[in-house]
């Protein structure tokens, strides 16, 4: 009998490997270095669970070690997308970057504070470590999810000129990360009751995103320009003028 979960996991691994190969072969890794590193992390992160029993202490140590790497890379990927979108608007870019860092710090601190009353001195050390890991992960995921949603709202309001690759990267990573965040909250709310369904949903969404990166990112996509949302020329010009004025104000404020 086929192990569906194993097949999906192997497809996810294949998608990550193909994405890395394409980024390196086409030279797109120079434009999306953090995505390249993130795909490499996904490859490693999908191999080690296949080699270890999930009940072993070694598995727990690997999990605890890989989580901080995942947090850092997730933050850097979001930062890379934000930079690609607003690279020509340094004032807004700087404000958004610091807003993201501060929101992550606040969300992580609040998650840890809500966990402290549940930590008991008699609690086993592995349980305490996992409690802190889950709390920090919840804070990072929530803050980045909100930041991604705000970024998508921004793109829906201002017709910022983008390359097709940047738009694809932003949309695919949004789906990739938000599906992971949704899965985390479903596990928190329903516990083990829906764990198999949630895991299946997460792996299917992650696999689809990996193949989307592989299939949709291309050298040609760096030359094709897209504007979203589509607006009449006069309205588009007015909104871009407002955006430039806001950027100039923020740049001036940062220098004072």
Break the chain into its structural domains and give their ranges: 4-255
Checking if the pLDDT of 1 tops 60, the result is no
- 162 phi and psi angles, rounded to 5 deg: -130, 155
Cβ contacts of 64 within 8 Å, gap of 6 or more? 129, 130, 133
- The whole-number pLDDT of residue 192 equals 64
Nearest Cα neighbor of 230 from 164, 155, 150 is 155
Share of the chain above pLDDT 90, in %: 24
Residue 191: pLDDT band by 50, 70, 90 thresholds?
Answer: low
Q: pTM, whole model, 2 decimals?
A: 0.83
Q: Point out the least confidently predicted range of 159-163, 177-181, 231-235.
A: 231-235
Supply 183's token pair.
């899965």
Q: Please state, in angstroms and rounded to a whole number, the distance separating the CA atoms of residues 70 and 205.
A: 18
Q: Just give the CATH number of 4-255.
A: 1.20.1070
Count CA within 13 A, CB hemisphere, residue 201: 16
| Contact by Cβ (8 Å): 212, 53 | no
Checking if the pLDDT of 19 tops 90, the result is yes
- The whole-number pLDDT of residue 207 equals 93
| Contact by Cβ (8 Å): 163, 223 | yes
Q: What is the DSSP letter of 194?
A: T
- Per-residue pLDDT of 193-248, as tens digits, reads 677 787 788 888 999 999 999 999 999 999 888 866 666 777 778 887 888 888 88
State mean pLDDT over 161-190.
Answer: 85
Nearest Cα neighbor of 244 from 79, 86, 84, 82 is 86
- The whole-number pLDDT of residue 38 equals 94
- Per-residue pLDDT of 52-76, as tens digits, reads 776 677 777 777 788 888 888 988 9
- The whole-number pLDDT of residue 214 equals 96
Supply 23's token pair.
């980024």
Share of the chain above pLDDT 70, in %: 86
- The whole-number pLDDT of residue 46 equals 86
- The whole-number pLDDT of residue 49 equals 78
């Amino acid at each position: 009998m086929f192990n569906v979960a194993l097949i999906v996991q192997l497809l996810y691994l294949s998608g990550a490997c193909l994405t890395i190969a394409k980024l390196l072969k086409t030279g797109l890794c120079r434009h999306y270095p953090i995505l390249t590193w993130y795909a490499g992390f996904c490859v490693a992160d999908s191999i080690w669970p296949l080699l270890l029993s999930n009940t072993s202490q070694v598995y727990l140590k690997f999990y605890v070690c890989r989580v901080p790497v995942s947090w850092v890379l997730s933050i850097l990927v979001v930062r890379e997308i934000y930079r690609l979108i607003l690279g020509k608007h340094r004032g807004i870019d700087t404000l958004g970057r610091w807003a993201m860092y501060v929101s992550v710090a606040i969300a992580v601190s609040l998650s840890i504070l809500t966990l402290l009353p549940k930590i008991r001195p008699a609690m086993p050390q592995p349980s305490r470590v996992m409690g802190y890991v889950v709390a920090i992960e919840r804070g990072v995921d929530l803050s980045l999810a909100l930041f991604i949603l705000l970024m998508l709202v921004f793109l829906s309001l201002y017709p910022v000129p983008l390359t097709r690759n940047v738009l694809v990267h932003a949309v695919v990573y949004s789906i990739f990360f938000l599906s992971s965040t949704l899965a985390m909250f479903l596990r928190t709310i329903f516990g083990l009751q829906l764990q198999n369904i949630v895991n299946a949903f997460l792996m299917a969404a992650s696999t689809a995103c990996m193949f989307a990166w592989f299939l949709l990112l291309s050298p040609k996509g760096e030359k094709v320009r897209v504007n979203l949302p589509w607006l009449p020329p006069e309205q588009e010009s007015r909104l871009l003028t407002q955006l430039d004025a806001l950027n100039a104000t923020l740049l001036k404020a940062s220098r004072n």
